[in-house]
Amino acid sequence: MTNDPTPPNQTPEDASERMDIRTIARLANVSIATVSRTINRVSTVNPKMAKRVWEVIEKLDFVPNTQARALVSGRSKLFGLLISEITNPFFPELIQGFEEIAVEHGYEILISSTNHDPKRMSHCIRRMLERKVEGVAIMTFGIEEPLLEQLAKRKVPLVFIDVGPDRPGISVLKVDYHHGIRQAVQHLAALGHRRIAFVSGPKLLHSAQSRLAAYTKSMHECGIVPDPGWIVEGDHTLEGGVAAMGQLLAQDDLATAVLCSNDMTAIGVLHKLYRTGLRVPDDISVIGFDDIHIAEVTIPPLTTIQMSRFEIAKAAFDALQSQVESPNQLIGKREFNISTSLIVRESTSYPRGTMEHLRKKST
Amino acid sequence: MTNDPTPPNQTPEDASERMDIRTIARLANVSIATVSRTINRVSTVNPKMAKRVWEVIEKLDFVPNTQARALVSGRSKLFGLLISEITNPFFPELIQGFEEIAVEHGYEILISSTNHDPKRMSHCIRRMLERKVEGVAIMTFGIEEPLLEQLAKRKVPLVFIDVGPDRPGISVLKVDYHHGIRQAVQHLAALGHRRIAFVSGPKLLHSAQSRLAAYTKSMHECGIVPDPGWIVEGDHTLEGGVAAMGQLLAQDDLATAVLCSNDMTAIGVLHKLYRTGLRVPDDISVIGFDDIHIAEVTIPPLTTIQMSRFEIAKAAFDALQSQVESPNQLIGKREFNISTSLIVRESTSYPRGTMEHLRKKST
DNA sequence: GTGAAAGCGCTAACAC
DNA sequence: GTGTTAGCGCTTTCAC
């Protein structure tokens, strides 16, 4: 099978064995270098020859081998994308943006989910190293330092979201959680809410900490001292939201509004409330975070804080690309700002009793 | 920069330049062949040497270059995964399963979304060809024949869902839509529904056609002749569901139950109903298809037809792997059966009026 | 059982 | 402007 000549009954078109740059060169009567140059659109090639080469390429339907290209050029044209769990709609939306931009620029992406498991993360990083990624976007909202070493040691450009070690070759996307969260708290306070609960994300996540801190700060700004009982830990999943709302419900003095660390949590909260027979927003207001697509059609439509996936994807890609393609300029940490802002829909309203109170007043 | 010797101020550990099998060989005092064999766990290597090699590898934290391996061995250990839109939660759940299994078996996956755009699909296929994937799972629920040619011509093993050309090297996952859909229709009929509407998927999708056909057949089995007006075309998105329900609502004789081609559609339908002030399931029953995770917490929890993502992922991977690793045995089309079954939750009940009717009867 | 040597398909010097 | 040649980092005959 190795070196049998093309069987006589095969037309040259489907002689699919050994289709390489050399074959093209022979058929187009040029050298392999010319073929390579043509494919890579080097401007110095004689248009006549180029045309001949392209014709042969099209006729044979030749596709260059990326592995060989990568091996010799040292450019894999591959970026790693590390996420925590593909199952949270936030991430697919982010992936979509990242992939779009990457492909547009001739890059491929290698996606890995860590599922919050450090062991898995270590595997993911190893695999990325083996495939020689040129950079990796770490969108897990938190990473163990030792694992990071693997990448840093090899000088792989990195971009983090939120949390980022301050080193050359590392960019970080600074999300302005406070802006959106303050808007949310103010929105609630303006409506008359004082007892505003917060369902946080897993406390080991930096982003979760930042969101919590933004909540606390915003509450103080509104002159409210948050009761520790109002803060309960979720885990950014549907089930976590259900459980967290359960905890809140078990308390004597029920909050009149619940701010959630992400939309999945909020959807869980909505569900638990539905199960309990409490109406949103009549009995209690709920606010999410992320503004995933589905938040528009929850029942009721979710008031939430938007954080643009596209903005993040774009910034992450740009950070990586600039590190790779012009490593000399701008060495050192680069920061990108990501904004957040409140989207008011229908899961927020006056605290229970306010309407009656107002009505009485006006009568 | 090319051939400068290790600077004296650098310890060998961080002499990160040119870390290859050769370096390991030199430091372990063996030949590169032995290093290669050790890494590949060839059993004939002398344990003593192997130990020495592993020690050096660990000390230098050496990671083999997959590109080079792939180039010389002809095995990229890469599978392509073609999906229609990553934004539909069905797919991330499928990706998760596929990735898990693939990584377990030493494969990496290249994910591409076509977004239902033939042009994009053509790009995706091209990129996969360039990266020399060893097989591709086409989970788009429909593909244009000409594009398929690209893959088939190069004898890339393929696995389709639902629709599959009958050729060697091509496997197909046959989903038994009829089973689940019949259960759904019977469930509805048993509850007393006769006017059961169906929101289909995009009509150009094979899977959508199959689901529609299963609905029609099941209706007839229950002795109901479906009115053409009951069948409206959606597009498997939230918005499509909203729009489809809008169409249904505009009709004189409103259906008492709506069966949807997928869960996203059903969630859209639920939302439109909520907007209209109709209660589910009191005024109208709704059934979805897929059983995505979020279906458990919709309001009300969605009765839906389950199609196991894990089962699909596993079958797809197995099909591909068996084609790649033992191409001689079982040449030809291989079929895998995927089952579907009804999960009854709370979006279905008696048609409006039945309860009162029953109550009257019993009084 | 181990090493030397020949490439895998391509790019990038370097001559011409 | 085009061709020749030397590898990229690895696996895999093939001798020993």
Backbone angles phi, psi at B64, to 5 degrees: -65, 150
Q: Which of A149-153, B144-148, B354-358 shows the lowest mean pLDDT across its residues?
A: B354-358
Domain boundaries, chain B: 21-64, 72-176+310-339, 178-307+343-362
Confidence of residue A142 (pLDDT cuts 50, 70, 90): confident
Task: For residue range B107-141, list pLDDT tens digits in order.
Answer: 999 999 998 888 889 999 999 999 999 999 999 88
Nucleotides of D under 7 A from a protein CB: 1-5, 7-13
- Can you say whether the dihedral through the CA atoms of B165, B234, A99, A202 is positive or negative? negative
Which residue's C-alpha is at the least distance from the C1' of C5?
A: B33
Helix (H, G, I), strand (E, B) or coil at A274: helix
Confidence of residue B166 (pLDDT cuts 50, 70, 90): confident
Angle formed at CA A334 by CA A331 and CA A337, multiple of 5 degrees: 165
Tell me what pLDDT residue A338 has: 96
**In the predicted structure, residue B250 carries a pLDDT above the cut 80:** yes
Name which CATH class applies to A21-64.
Answer: mainly alpha
Tell me what pLDDT residue A325 has: 85
CB B33 within 8 A of CB A42: no
> CA–CA separation, A153 vs A156, rounded Å?
8
More confident residue, A204 or A96: A96
Report DSSP state, residue A351.
Answer: P
Tell me what pLDDT residue B153 has: 87
> CA–CA separation, B12 vs B8, rounded Å?
9
Average pLDDT score over chain B: 90
> CA–CA separation, A257 vs A270, rounded Å?
12
> CA–CA separation, B314 vs B335, rounded Å?
13
Tell me what pLDDT residue B141 has: 82
Question: For the residues B311-324, what does the mean pLDDT come to?
Answer: 94
Task: For residue range A200-259, list pLDDT tens digits in order.
Answer: 999 888 899 999 999 999 999 999 999 999 999 999 999 999 999 999 999 998 999 999
In the numeric block, the tokens 């869902």 are attached to B161
What are the strands of the beta sheet with B257-260, ordered from one edge? B231-233, B196-200, B257-260, B285-290, B303-307, B340-343
Show which residues sit with Cβ under 7 A of nucleic chain D.
A 29-34, 37, 44-46, 48-49, 68, 71-72, 74; B 18, 20-22, 32-33, 36-37, 39-40, 64-65, 68-69, 71-73
Q: Which of A276-290, A331-345, B99-113 shows the lowest mean pLDDT across its residues?
A: A331-345
**In the predicted structure, residue B2 carries a pLDDT above the cut 90:** no
More confident residue, A151 or B179: B179
Report DSSP state, residue B363.
Answer: -
Task: For residue range B3-42, list pLDDT tens digits in order.
Answer: 333 343 333 444 446 799 999 999 999 999 999 999 999 9
| Distance of alpha carbon B315 from the chain centroid | 11
Tell me what pLDDT residue A178 has: 97
> CA–CA separation, A318 vs A79, rounded Å?
12
CB B15 within 8 A of CB B23: no
- Highest mean pLDDT (candidates A95-109, A137-151, B143-157): A95-109
Which positions ≥6 away from A306 have C-beta within 8 Å? A180, A290, A291, A340, A341, A342, A343
Confidence of residue B353 (pLDDT cuts 50, 70, 90): confident
Tell me what pLDDT residue A54 has: 96
**In the predicted structure, residue A335 carries a pLDDT above the cut 70:** yes
> CA–CA separation, A193 vs A89, rounded Å?
30
Q: If you measure CA to CA, which chain B residue comes closest to A17?
A: B154
> CA–CA separation, A272 vs A232, rounded Å?
15
Tell me what pLDDT residue A235 has: 94
Please report, in angstroms and rounded to a whole number, the separation of the first and last CA atoms in chain A: 95
Q: Give me the CA B316–C1' D11 separation in Å, rounded.
A: 29
Confidence of residue A11 (pLDDT cuts 50, 70, 90): very low
Which positions ≥6 away from A246 have C-beta within 8 Å? A272
Task: For residue range A280-303, list pLDDT tens digits in order.
Answer: 999 999 999 999 999 999 999 999
Are B297 and A61 a contacting pair at CB < 8 A? no
Is CATH 3.40.50.2300 correct for B72-176+310-339? yes
Helix (H), strand (E) at residue B53: helix B47-60
Helix (H), strand (E) at residue A327: none
Q: Give me the CA B3–C1' D3 separation in Å, rounded.
A: 26
Fold of the A178-307+343-362 domain: Rossmann fold (3.40.50)
Domains A72-176+310-339 and A178-307+343-362 share a fold: yes
Q: If you measure CA to CA, which chain B residue comes closest to A84?
A: B96
Tell me what pLDDT residue B127 has: 95
| Chain B nearest C-alpha distance from A153 (Å) | 8
Tell me what pLDDT residue B10 has: 37
Count of A–B CB contacts within 8 Å?
126
CB B224 within 8 A of CB B257: no
Tell me what pLDDT residue A13 has: 41
